[in-house]
Amino acid sequence: MKCRFLILVLLCLSNSGFGQTFTGDIGQKYHSSLLIKPDSSVLFVYSYNDNCIYAEYEGRISKHTDTSYRLDLQLVFGQFFKRSPNPDSLRIQVDTPHVRLDRILISYTNGTYNQISLRDKSGFTRPGMVMPVNTMLFNNESGTDQLIFTINRKNPLNGRILEFKIPYGAYPSFTANRSLSFDVLLEEEEIRFVDEPLPNTSNMVMKCTRR
């Protein structure tokens, strides 16, 4: 059985709403923001569970039928963690050349941290690297079962430096250049997703309140 989620957002999606930003929660873990510009270009940002998953999409919105709009988006930056084959080592994967990163800061729960350069001797972003981790500080026990990764990139909608919480047994994978398209229906002050753009979000409903 597919789940249904309710999003409380700031503004209604309508012709008069173009040039506005919509924000809201999908269930208890998805957090999303949608900026629709007057020229019909859009920026869609969502995260899941304290940024263990994070994605930025750019694209356009267009009228599809009398009651629906189509969002055609392209991933410009994303972080989707993967399961690690060896929890004693930490893998960092970067989908080059679509993603360029200079460095990454790894923070443990006790406050210690490591700063790692992701550039090679020629100045290009490495496609990946593997490093040992301190298993006394990062293991499957509560309180030490997460690492925080900070990168030199900001969320384009709120200007905050990006941090990602990665669970034990996983590693960060930075990627881009993926397509995402879905339709939304406009029903008075509700927006209903026709497709399932994110996992378990079919029949997703946005209830809008105007500022």
Per-residue pLDDT tens over the stretch 141-193: 888 888 899 998 999 988 999 999 888 888 899 999 999 998 877 665 566 67
Q: Which domain holds residue 32?
A: 6-78+177-208
Q: How many residues does the chain have?
A: 211
Quick one: 184 and 142 in the same domain? no
Quick one: 191 and 181 in the same domain? yes
Task: Classify residue 131: in a domain, yes or no.
Answer: yes
Instruction: Give the confidence band of 77 by pLDDT, cuts at 50, 70, 90.
Output: very high
Quick one: 106 and 136 in the same domain? yes
Quick one: 55 and 67 in the same domain? yes
What are the beta bridge partners of residue 63?
Answer: 69
Number of domains in the chain: 2
CA distance 25 to 34: 12
Please enumerate in sequence order all residues whose Cβ is within 8 A of that of 181, keeping only pairs 6 or more positions apart, or say none.
70, 71, 72, 73, 195
- Gyration radius of the chain's alpha carbons: 19
Quick one: 169 and 186 in the same domain? no
Task: Classify residue 151: in a domain, yes or no.
Answer: yes
Predicted TM-score (pTM) of this structure: 0.80
Quick one: 100 and 164 in the same domain? yes
Task: Classify residue 165: in a domain, yes or no.
Answer: yes
Task: Classify residue 72: in a domain, yes or no.
Answer: yes
Instruction: Tell me: pLDDT of 55 over 50.
Output: yes
Quick one: 165 and 193 in the same domain? no
Task: Classify residue 123: in a domain, yes or no.
Answer: yes
Q: By the 8 A CB rule, do 72 and 161 touch?
A: no
Quick one: 156 and 132 in the same domain? yes
What are the beta bridge partners of residue 79?
Answer: 54, 174
Quick one: 87 and 46 in the same domain? no
Quick one: 90 and 155 in the same domain? yes
CA distance 101 to 126: 9
Task: Classify residue 1: in a domain, yes or no.
Answer: no
Quick one: 101 and 125 in the same domain? yes
Quick one: 118 and 67 in the same domain? no
Sequence-ordered strand ranges (E) for the chain: 6-9, 20-26, 30-36, 41-48, 53-63, 68-80, 82-83, 89-94, 103-107, 113-117, 128-132, 146-154, 161-167, 170-171, 173-175, 179-187, 190-193, 205-208
Q: By the 8 A CB rule, do 208 and 190 touch?
A: yes
pLDDT per residue over 99-137, tens digit each? Answer: 888 889 999 888 888 888 888 888 888 888 888 888 888
Q: What CATH number has the domain bearing residue 54?
A: 2.40.128
pLDDT at 131: 83
Q: What CATH number has the domain bearing residue 105?
A: 2.60.40.10
Scored b (16 or more CB within 10 A) or e, 130-165 reads: eeebeeeebbeeeebebbbbbbebebeeeeeebebe
CA distance 61 to 35: 11
Q: By the 8 A CB rule, do 150 and 161 touch?
A: yes
